[in-house]
Amino acid sequence: MPDLTLTPTPPLDGYAQDFAGTRLAEASELAIVAVATPAGGETALEAAVKAAYGTGTPAPGASILSKDGKARLVWSGPDQMFLLFTHDAPDAEAGVAAALGQAGYCTDQTGVWAALEISGPGVRGALERLCPLDLHPDAFAEGAAARTVMEHMGAFVIRTGSDAFLLLSASSSAKSFLHAVELSVRNTA
Amino acid sequence: MIIHHPLLGPRDAAEFVYKGDVTLIDRPDWQAEDAAEAFHDYLYLRDNPAGEHRELWFHEQGDRSWLVVTRNTLTHEITKVELARDVARERGRSR
C-alpha cells in the first residue's frame, strides 16, 4: 500500500471576506457533536452536562455557552442538542463522550456541516432576504438558535453577539450556501 | 401559512412537510387475527372531511419534531397544534 497523507480541508477552503459593514468568514476549526438524550435519561444527562460544562442543557430555541466559554450548547430538537467548540483534530466525538460518560448518545457531525460567521452592522439586512425567521433583536435574543431553510437549503442560525451570527449548513452544498449569503451581502452592502 | 409550533412559536409553513391523517399514529397490531384487514384499512381508508381535520406535520427544516395540527379544510384556519409525541402518549403509546 502506498503511503498516503490525508489533509483535512474545510468545506469552504477557509473563506473570509470583508464587505462594507459586514464580515463573512468560515469557522473552519469548529467541531460539532450531537448529543441525544436516552429515553428517561434527562436527569442523568442534565447532571453530566452540568459536571462537564458547568451549565444546564439549552432550552428550546436557545443556546448557551459553557462556563469556560469554550463550548456552545445548542438546542437542536426535542431531546437533542449540538455541542460546538473549536477543535482541530478528528476526535471531537470521543472527547465529548468521555466528558459525559454514558449519559448521552454522541454523534460526530463535524464533517457534515459548513460553518459561516457573519457579523457587522449590515448583518440583518443581508440575512432578512434569505431567512424566514424574525431576526430583530427583540425577537431573536443573543444566544437564540433556530433551524430553518434559506434558499432551499437547511440551516442553523445562531446569534453569537449583538450583530454576529453563526450559520451552519450542509457541507455538501456549502458553496451554494456561501453563494446565496455572499450575494445577499453584496446586494445589501 | 404560519404554524404555531408548541415549542418554537410561529414558524413559516415552508419549514414543514405534510405527512397525512393523524390516524397513522394508531398502527394496528401486526400479530392480531385480522392484521391483514386492519392494515388494509390503516393504509388505504381515509376520511375526507370538509371542516376540521387532524393531521400530521413534520418540522423537516426545523427541529424535526412531528406535530398534530388541527386544521379546517374549508378555511385553512389552524385551531390547535400539539406535539405528536404527546398525542401518542395520551393514547397509551410508550413513545
Cβ pairs bridging A and B (under 8 Å):
35
Round to whole Å and give the CA distance between A25 and B37.
Answer: 58
The domain A16-28+112-188 having CATH identifier 3.90.110.10: the answer here is no
Q: What is the pLDDT of residues A88-138, one digit of tens each?
A: 888 999 999 999 998 999 999 999 999 999 999 999 999 999 999 999 999
C-alpha to C-alpha distance for A73 and A145, rounded to whole angstroms: 10
Task: Please indicate whether, in this complex, the C-beta atoms of A147 and B61 are within 8 angstroms of each other.
Answer: yes
Nearest CA in chain A to B66: A78
The alpha-carbon gap from A155 to the nearest alpha carbon of chain B, in Å, equals 8
pLDDT of residue B92: 83
CA distance A21 to A188: 10
**C-beta atoms of A76 and B85 within 8 A:** no
pLDDT at B94 over 80: no
Cβ neighbours of residue A149 closer than 8 Å, sequence gap 6 or more: A132, A155, B14, B15, B61
User: What does the pLDDT look like over A10-49, one tens digit per residue?
Assistant: 999 999 999 998 999 999 899 999 999 999 999 999 999 9
Do the two domains A16-28+112-188 and A30-111 of this chain adopt the same fold?
no
Domain limits, chain B: 1-28+52-95
**pLDDT at res. B91:** 87
d(CA B63, CA A148): 9
Which residues in chain A have Cβ-Cβ distances shorter than 8 Å to B7? 60-61, 78
Asked if the Cβ–Cβ distance from B64 to A60 is below 8 Å, we say no
Residue A96 in grid coordinates? 465529548
State pLDDT tens for residues A40-80. 999 999 999 999 999 999 999 999 999 999 999 999 999 99
pLDDT score for A177: 98
Q: Do B62 and A76 touch (CB under 8 A)?
A: no
We find that the CATH architecture of domain A30-111 is 2-Layer Sandwich (3.30)
B5's CB contacts (< 8 A; 6+ apart) are B11, B59, B62, B63, B65, B67, B81
Whether the complex's predicted ipTM is more than 0.95 is answered with: no
Residue whose C-alpha cell reads 473552519 in the numeric block: A28
Lookup: cell for A90: 478528528
Cα–Cα–Cα angle for A96, A99, A103, rounded to 5 degrees: 90
Q: What is the rounded distance in angstroms from the CA atom of residue A86 to the CA atom of residue A165?
A: 16
Nearest to A147 among B14, B62, B83 (CB): B62
Delimit the domains of chain A by residue range: 16-28+112-188, 30-111
Sort strands B52-58 and A105-108 into parallel, antiparallel or unpaired. Answer: unpaired
Residues of B in contact with A39 (CB under 8 A): 95
- B65-74: pLDDT as tens digits: 999 999 999 9
Q: Taking CB atoms and an 8 Å limit, are A39 and B95 in contact across chains?
A: yes
Using CB atoms within 10 Å of the CB of residue B20, give its burial: 0 to 12 exposed, 13 to 18 middle, 19+ buried: exposed
Which of A79, A148, A152, A158 has the highest number of chain B CBs within 10 A, making it the mutation to test binding with B? A148
CATH 3.30.2270.10 fits B1-28+52-95, yes or no: yes
Which three three-digit cell numbers place residue A85?
467548540
